[in-house]
Amino acid sequence: SQQGEEDPQALSIQEGENATMNCSYKTSINNLQWYRQNSGRGLVHLILIRSNEREKHSGRLRVTLDTSKKSSSLLITASRAADTASYFCATDYSGNTGKLIFGQGTTLQVKP
Amino acid sequence: GAVVSQHPSWVICKSGTSVKIECRSLDFQATTMFWYRQFPKQSLMLMATSNEGSKATYEQGVEKDKFLINHASLTLSTLTVTSAHPEDSSFYICSAKHGGGEKLFFGSGTQLSVL
């Protein structure tokens, strides 16, 4: 399987703390994307980082990419209870055809 | 913008019946849509790529006669689960590609329960 791996599988933190999730992948990529999924819902795009970028910020989100290690991390700072969701990394290996390989996901619980 | 609507949100059907799930791009034209299956607490597994005006491309191991995909217009793709069985019970999600953009826009998913 080409699916990536994410760790941890589950993460529980207190409101205000930072949450870090890691993603590893296997193939060469054009870009790596992070998505969020609330329970029983579709996915929402959070942030995209291209293969020639090393770090990207969007609000409270910070994403890093290390292509030599084929890994990425998502940091959510000053977490809120509303950040409780599952987070998936997805790699675009197919030259922007839209075919993404999704990681296994990290379930984040932020306690108020 | 870039809203994808998926219906129904949930459906319960008897074994042996067929179920149709619709995926619509509401404010953009989607030449390409994707269908996924997701089991509880697991990742999304791509089932097929739906291209407007042509046959869908199925991923390895996905039965094309079981999961019929039709992309008859630039704003609508449908997935029909034919002769559904309890093992087809799952969460099905669609996504759409907006032009040359790199990110995907997802529908809200359909929970299918086959009795």
Judging contacts by C-beta atoms under 8 Å, the chain B residues touching residue A40 are 91, 109, 111
Q: Are A3 and B41 an interchain contact pair (Cβ–Cβ within 8 Å)?
A: no
Q: Which residue has the tokens 């290690």?
A: A69
Q: What is the pLDDT of residue B51?
A: 87
Task: Measure B4 CA to nearest chain A CA, in Å.
Answer: 10
Q: Are A72 and A92 in contact (CB under 8 A)?
A: no
Q: How far from A93 is each of A1, A30, A31, CA to CA, in Å?
A: 14, 6, 7
For A9, nearest residue in chain B (alpha carbons): B41
Q: CB-based contact (8 Å) between B104 and chain A?
A: yes
Please give the average per-residue pLDDT across B45-56, as a whole number: 90
CA A47 – CA A57 distance, rounded (Å):
8
- The strand order across the sheet containing B67-73 reads B4-7, B19-25, B76-81, B67-73
Determine which of A33-37, A94-98, A106-110 has the lowest per-residue pLDDT on average. A94-98
d(CA A9, CA B106): 23
Cis peptide before B8 (omega within 30 of 0): yes
Q: In this predicted model, which residue has the larger pLDDT, B85 or A93? A: B85
CB atoms within 10 A of CB A79: 21
Q: For the segment A21-63, what is each residue's pLDDT rounded down to a tens digit? A: 999 999 888 999 999 999 989 999 999 999 999 999 999 999 9
How far apart are the CA of A55 and the nearest CA of chain B, in angstroms? 18
Average pLDDT value for residue range B69-88 = 94
Which residues, listed in sequence order, are joined to residue A14 by a DSSP beta bridge? Answer: A111
pLDDT per position as a tens digit, A56-82 = 999 999 999 999 999 999 999 999 999
Contacts of A67 (CB under 8 A, 6+ apart): A29, A51
What is the three-state SS of A17-74?
CCEEEEEECCCCCCEEEEEEECCCCCEEEEEEEECCCCEEEECCEEEEEECCCCEEEE
Confidence class of residue A92 from pLDDT cuts 50, 70 and 90? confident
Instruction: Encode pLDDT of A8-20 as tens digits.
Output: 999 999 999 999 9
Query: What pLDDT is attached to residue B1?
Result: 67
